[in-house]
Amino acid sequence: MASASALDSLSRPGSRARRLVERLLDGSGVALDGPRPWDLQVHDPAFFPRVLRHGSLGLGEAYVEGQWDCDRIDEMIARLLRHGLGRRGDRSVERLFDVVQAELANLQSRSRAFIVGEKHYDRGNDLFEGMLGASMAYSCGYWREAATLDEAQRAKHDLVARKLGLAPGMRVLDIGCGWGSLAEYAARHHGCEVVGITVSEEQAAYARERCAELPVEIRLQDYRDLTGRFDRIVSIGMFEHVGPRNYGAYFRAVRRLLAAEGLFLLQTIGSNVPRRGVDPWINRYVFPNGNLPSAAQLIGAAETLLVMEDWQSFGADYDRTLMAWCRNLEAAWPALGARYEEATRRTFRYFLLACAGAFRAREIQLWQVVFSLRRPGRYDAPR
């Protein structure tokens, strides 16, 4: 990043700002106005001082506002992250503010737990139907033997069911049930009784209709308020909203709710190193108050409460999942565009492709972890 004095001299767009950006890009394999699909095509010179001042926040905002374009944002981001620009972006003012805020306040407290539902998941079920496809599963698919997104999501549900040993009559808790895809699968195909919780009113309404004829109860509820006992607990793509200050409370809740010989499966995106907060642009425009756990944070919070039986990493599958979601969104946009602004399309396109690039660069990971309460005998995890 340029010094404060240098940034002050960039108040008006000009060639000096462009030269500084070119210097940052040097060696990354990404060029300005180049011929390759991952090169940035800059439409407005105001882009240069903006990205120098505001780092990743400015980069995302400038894209949504149309100041630049790129055919392969996914590959552009992957190359920039491999070049180390993600770590330099962590020094932006906005990133430092988010870190300080996360240190001083519990951004995922009970009173704030429903913010992400209101800001993101309640945008409109038709938008997510267009993007996610028939499964409406908003988490990483399992592409080991799958050729399509729907096959990958079914394979993920099957993998979860096999790891948990789902059987008729089991009482299953789904923490962060989304639009009810896994709850429906467990009830319909394995005869389970399912309680699913979400912090999104739109998700809850959709999941209740989806599972209306099945032994499934969908609740609008925070995980800290749960009571009862469950044979199996599963949580897919929700732990990213828990926050480091609440990891202990989360695992204590799981321990309290899990039957003596039960199993708990957690699927989460993970960070290579402990971090406070997420990318400033994602925090402001996509997922407010999120935080990706590191492996040490996750295990440190669980190790005195639960036994880890299995750990599987398949982050490359999230790259493919995100790319499939982006293709779906583009195909659905002619119908969605009548209701949603172009800024919404560009926001989701940038989010999906930037995250795909981050997984491709191995900057972030995807983990599926199985825990028990010192269950007797050997646990053999299926793959």
In whole angstroms, give the CA distance from residue 299 to residue 308. 8
Structure tokens given for 58 = 């400015």
- Give catalytic residue positions: 355
Contacts of 220 (CB under 8 A, 6+ apart): 197, 198, 199, 200, 201, 204
In 275-359, at which residue ranges do the beta strands (DSSP E only) sit?
307-313
198 class by beta-carbon count within 10 Å (0-12 exposed, 13-18 middle, 19+ buried):
buried
Structure tokens given for 163 = 């790891």
Instruction: Please tell me the number of Cα atoms within 13 Å of 110 on its side-chain side.
Output: 7
* 60, 74, 332, 154: CA torsion to nearest 10: -120
300 class by beta-carbon count within 10 Å (0-12 exposed, 13-18 middle, 19+ buried):
middle
3-state SS class at 381: coil
- Residue 377 burial (CB count, 10 A): 7
In whole angstroms, give the CA distance from residue 211 to residue 310. 30
Element holding 4 (H helix, E strand): helix 4-8
Instruction: Please tell me the number of Cα atoms within 13 Å of 282 on its side-chain side.
Output: 18
Concatenating the DSSP letter of every residue in 31-60 gives: -BT-SSTTSBEES-TTHHHHHHHHHHHHHH
Q: Which is it for strands 193-198 and 68-69: parallel, antiparallel or unpaired?
A: unpaired
